[in-house]
């Protein structure tokens, strides 16, 4: 089984248990903490990936590190992963968990690229239009992209709505080449 699929299954399992015990927000906070902890410590990241350190030593270290810092459910989950020798999947499990949680809560993560920053009113208007069109809650990430020449593009996974000047110029160029302009 690929690491991606294994991480997805573990993420699906923890989200199911967290939802069943009404601890989704708690596990989300714990995973945010773990993600920051692993991302900020090369030593911890190396420790998690190390095949030399045995499972028992890793379980003791995780118990010591995470007790009173994460919920009992999250601690048990990390210990279970370690018992199965799958602790190296933790960063990917966390990433998959966030995706599944957003899906469960009806949230779309969208990236908007523009040549200049939007005003707060423009941001609100764009989010409102996308929420009406998708019937989902939108979590917007804004990126400045001078290559667009003007306008903006909105992307969710592999779907792109392109209202950039660059795109309009490309369309016009294609029409000239076809002789329809």
- For residues 152 and 119, what is the distance between their CA atoms, to the nearest angstrom? 13
Residue labelled with tokens 């810092």: 69
For residue range 31-85, list pLDDT tens digits in order. Answer: 999 999 999 999 999 999 998 999 999 999 999 999 999 999 999 999 999 999 9
Query: What pLDDT is attached to residue 166?
Result: 75
What strands, in cross-sheet order, belong to the sheet with 137-144? 137-144, 107-114, 151-156, 159-164
For residue 50, the SS3 value is coil
For residue range 119-138, list pLDDT tens digits in order. Answer: 999 999 999 999 998 899 99
Q: Which of 170, 120, 121 is nearest to 148 (CA)?
A: 170
For residue range 72-98, list pLDDT tens digits in order. Answer: 999 999 999 999 999 999 999 999 999
């Amino acid at each position: 089984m690929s690491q991606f699929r294994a991480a997805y299954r573990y993420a699906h399992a923890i989200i199911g248990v967290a939802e069943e015990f009404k601890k989704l927000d708690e596990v989300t906070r714990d995973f945010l903490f773990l993600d920051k902890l692993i991302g900020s410590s090369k030593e911890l990241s190396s420790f998690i990936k190390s095949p030399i350190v045995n499972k028992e030593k890793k379980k003791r270290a995780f118990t010591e590190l995470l007790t009173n810092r994460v919920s009992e459910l999250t601690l048990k989950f990390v210990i279970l992963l370690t018992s199965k020798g799958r602790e190296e999947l933790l960063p990917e499990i966390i990433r998959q968990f966030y995706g599944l949680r957003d899906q469960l809560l009806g949230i779309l993560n969208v990236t908007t690229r523009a040549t200049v920053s939007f005003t707060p009113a423009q941001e609100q208007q764009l989010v409102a239009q996308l929420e009406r069109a998708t019937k989902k809650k939108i979590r917007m990430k804004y990126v400045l992209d001078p290559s667009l020449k003007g306008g903006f593009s909105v992307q969710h996974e592999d779907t792109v709505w392109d209202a950039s000047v660059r795109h309009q110029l490309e369309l016009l160029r294609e029409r000239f080449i076809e002789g329809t302009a």
